[in-house]
Amino acid sequence: MGAKQTVITDYPDAHVIDNLERNLDLALLPRTKSSGKQRRPNPHFTEARQRVQVMGLGWGSVEEESRVLAASDGAMGYDLVLAADVLWVSSAHPLLIHSIRTLLKRDRRARCVLIAGFHTGRPAVRRFFLQLAQPAPPSDPSLEEGRKAGIVPDWQEEEFGGICERNVDGSQRVWSGAALPRKADYDERRLAKFEGEEGEEEEMGDISDRGSWLVVASLRWADLE
């Protein structure tokens, strides 16, 4: 909880948001002891709770994205966007990408850390990363000019180049799907090449294997050195 400001988002349903608020209070605010006595407030936890907000966010909703963005420092976006278990519905990927572009600070050090399972198969996960690497259409009025750039795995991350796979047993391996764009590939011709390389032989993968592995990606703006 060392962040200056943290915003937790979920589907904009009153019951969902209220439940998240209660969970935060349980974790960070004092509770009554089994003896019936009130616990003394821990000032560190109390202060941390004051720095955490819960907000509803429908991906791609400009109005809701604007509210979440306004809660960031100077309304400039977030140094870290954590997206966990968000790739279930392929048709929603463009909306998720819009929200990531809107909320990630335009800074070379800003990162989106994305963690997802292979429930829908490796090809669907790869398609998401390919879409994220593509610049937004120049005619899109809902995004500022700088936020139309592509977002790609962190090419400067030494061990895995910004993307790896992690097993439930804690082991890790390199991304084992078809190739993905990196910084050096950030131009329209090369991106088109990646789009055409989605191998017909690339399969969904064995269900037991898909159930035990996650993709973990550290993503950054492709146009910022």
What pLDDT does 201 receive?
45
Residue 70 covered by a domain: no
Residue 204 covered by a domain: yes
Among 19-33, 59-73, 207-221, the range with the most confident prediction by mean pLDDT is 59-73
Share of the chain above pLDDT 90, in %: 61
Domain that holds residue 135: 77-221
Distance CA 83, CA 98 (A): 13
Distance CA 169, CA 188 (A): 39
6, 51 contact by CB (below 8 A): yes
Whether residues 21 and 93 fall in one domain:
no
Residue 215 covered by a domain: yes
Residue 69 covered by a domain: no
Residue 214 has pLDDT above 90, yes or no: yes
Residue 197 covered by a domain: yes
Each residue of 170-190: pLDDT tens digit? 999 999 888 888 775 556 556
Number of domains in the chain: 2
Distance CA 202, CA 153 (A): 21
Whether residues 100 and 49 fall in one domain:
no
199, 123 contact by CB (below 8 A): no
Spell out a b/e string for 75-112, using b for 16 or more CB atoms within 10 Å of the CB, else e: eebbbebebeebbeeeeebeebbbbbbbbbbeeeebbb
| pTM, 2 dp | 0.87
Q: Residue 37: pLDDT band by 50, 70, 90 thresholds?
A: low
Whether residues 81 and 27 fall in one domain:
no
What pLDDT does 83 receive?
98
Tokens for 111? 């990162």
Whether residues 44 and 8 fall in one domain:
yes
Whether residues 85 and 124 fall in one domain:
yes
Whether residues 158 and 98 fall in one domain:
yes
